[in-house]
Amino acid sequence: MNAAIPLIDSDLVGTTGARHGAMGYLTDTTLCIGCKACEVACKQWNQLPMDNLEWTGYSYDNTKDLSATTWRHVAFIEQLDGTNGHSPGVMPPFQSNWLMMSDICKHCVKAGCLEACPTGAIIRTEFDTVVIQQDICNGCGYCVPSCPFGVPDLSASDHKAHKCTLCYDRMVDDLEPACSKACPTDSIQFGPIDELMQRAERRVAELHQRGVKSAYIYGDRAVGGTQGIDGLNCFFILTAEPEVYNLPAYPELPQDKVGSAWLATLGAAFAIGAVAVAALRGR
């Protein structure tokens, strides 16, 4: 895997591109203890059923990824094989050698799922979050492959698309979303994006200073938020490459391709038309 992601534009660092007043999450994986309280709190609040009962052997991760019924998912990556295959006794401070990361819908500043949705079921709320309206969704499933992060999924029981709502129903009542509320170590921090981004920058600087040189923000415009997505309203502090956590390094907004794809198709249509005219021309 590629060792470093060069910064594309240093001016972009530290801004998610979110609208003012946008709410979201900073998930600081260096504070995550992998307790999965967030996963359970989400299921409890949203009354989501269990996925399945499959023991995976994937470290302590048995739910594997986000799904129609798992809107928070905690990944576990064991990375202990340092010196001669033994776990190193002394480690960089904060989460190390066994990475845990609580994944969630990124509530993209420009969201692939939202742009894809042909029914308008997916909307952007007053909190700048991305929510699927269950009374509109007709289960076309187009949002599913249109999300560069693999978030929404069709439910096998009601056949509609589901994903995190950023607890819209709690936010409108001035309640903190369930998962961050449950997080014991404040690994998940909820708040206005501008504030969170400042906090994230400070935290990354602090981590660098304390020897966690690999820490960075995933989801500002610089990393994991360019190429049209323009930042994530749920961003992360990570200490390894995005791929380690099963995140794409440079995801792109699929709909940005629509224009040029149509142009190319138009060109092809002309060419084909010309060929057809040539071939079918009457003699």
Partner 1 sequence: MTTRYERTWDNRRKQSKQTPADESANGARSVTDQTRASYYGVPVIHKPHWKWLIIVYFFVGGISGASYVLASIAHLVGGKDAGRIVRAGRYLSLAALLPSPILLILDLGRPERFHHMLYILKLRSTMSVGTWILTIFSGFCGLSALIQAAEDGLLSRIGFANRLLLALPAKAIGAIGSLFGFGMSGYTGILIAATAVPFWAKNYRLMGPLFLTSALSNASAAITLTLSLARGTSHSTLQRLEHLDMLAAIGELTLLIMARRNLGPVIARPLREGSLGNIYRWGVLGVGITAPLALLSLTRLKPHAAPRLLAGISAALTLIGGFLFRYVFVMAGRASADDPQATYEFTRRERPLG
Partner 2 sequence: MPGLGARLGRGGATTFQQNLAESDCIVIMGSNMAENHPVGFRFVMQAKQRGATLIHVDPRFTRTSAMSDVHVPLRAGSDVAFLGALVNYVINSERWNSDPFFREYVTHYTNASVIINQDFKDTEELAGVFSGYNPETRQYDFETWQYDGEQDHSTSPSGDRSTNRDQTGPNRDEAKEVQTAEPRGEFVGRLTGQPRTDPSLQDPMCAFQIVKRHFARYTPELVERICGVPQDLFLRVAEALVTNSGRDRTSSFCYAVAWTQHTIGTQMISCCALLQLLLGNIGRPGGGILALRGHATIQGSTDIPTLYNLLPGYLPMPTSVKKHDTLTDYLQVETPELGWWYNTPKYMVSLLKAWYGDAATPENGFAYDLMPKIEADYSFQKMLLMMKDGIIKGLFCMGENPVVGGQNAVLGRQALANLQWLVVRDVFEIETAAFWYDAPEVRKGELRPQDIKTEVFFLPASLTGEKEGSYTNTQRLVQWHDKAVEPRGDCRSESWFMLQLGKRLKELYAGDTSARGRQINTLTWDYPTIGETGEPDLDAVIREINGYTVADKKLVKSFVDLKADGSTACGCWIYSGIMPEEGKNLSKNRRGDEAAALEWGFAWPANRRILYNRASADPQGRPWSERKKWVWWDDTQGEWTGLDVPDFPKTKRPDYQPPEGAKGIDAHPGDAPFIMMADGKGWLYAASGLRDGPLPTHYEPWESPIGNALYPEQPRSPSALFFERPDNVYHELGDPRFPYVITTYRLTEHLTAGGMTRYVPWLAELQPGGFLEISPELAAELDISNGDWVTVMTLRGEAETRAMVTLRLQPLHLGDQIVHQIGMPWHFGYGGLAKGGIANDLSALVQDPNSRIHEGKSFTCNLRKGRAAGHPAGYSTKRPSPELTRQAGEEEGHWVKGDVKGDHGA
Does 197 help bind partner 2 (rule: CB under 8 A)? no
59 residue type, one letter: S
Does 68 help bind ligand SF4 (rule: CB under 6 A)? no
Among the listed residues 141, 192, 246, 250, the single contact to ligand SF4 using CB under 6 A: 141
Among the listed residues 22, 26, 42, 75, the single contact to ligand SF4 using CB under 6 A: 42
Which residues face 104 on adjacent strands?
72
180 within 8 A of 189, measured Cβ to Cβ:
yes
Q: Which DSSP letter does residue 210 get?
A: T
CA distance 62 to 105: 19
Q: Which among 76, 108, 103 has a CA at the least distance from the CA of 219?
A: 108
CA distance 9 to 160: 39
**Whose structure tokens read 């295959």?**
85
Among the listed residues 1, 53, 278, 280, the single contact to partner 2 using CB under 8 A: 53
The option from partner 1, ligand SF4, partner 2, none interacting with 196 (CB < 5 to 8 A, set by class) reads none
Among the listed residues 182, 197, 212, 237, the single contact to ligand SF4 using CB under 6 A: 182
Q: Which stretch binds partner 2 (CB under 8 A): 184-192, 232-240, 259-267, 269-277?
A: 184-192
Identity of the residue, 176 or 252, whose beta carbon is nearer to partner 1 in the bound complex: 252
Q: Which residues contact 231 (CB under 8 A, 6 or more apart)?
A: 15, 16, 17, 18, 108, 109, 219, 220, 221, 225
Identity of the residue, 87 or 134, whose beta carbon is nearer to ligand SF4 in the bound complex: 134
CA distance 198 to 2: 28
CA distance 211 to 18: 30
Q: Please report, as ranges, the residues that interact with partner 2 according to CB under 8 A.
A: 31, 33-37, 39-40, 43-44, 47-57, 59-60, 62-64, 67-70, 78, 80-81, 85-87, 89-91, 93-100, 141, 153-159, 184-186
Q: Please report, as ranges, the residues that interact with ligand SF4 according to CB under 6 A.
A: 32-38, 41-42, 45-46, 71-72, 74, 102, 104-108, 111-113, 116-117, 119, 121-122, 130, 132, 137-143, 147, 149, 151-152, 160-161, 163-167, 177-179, 182-185, 187-188
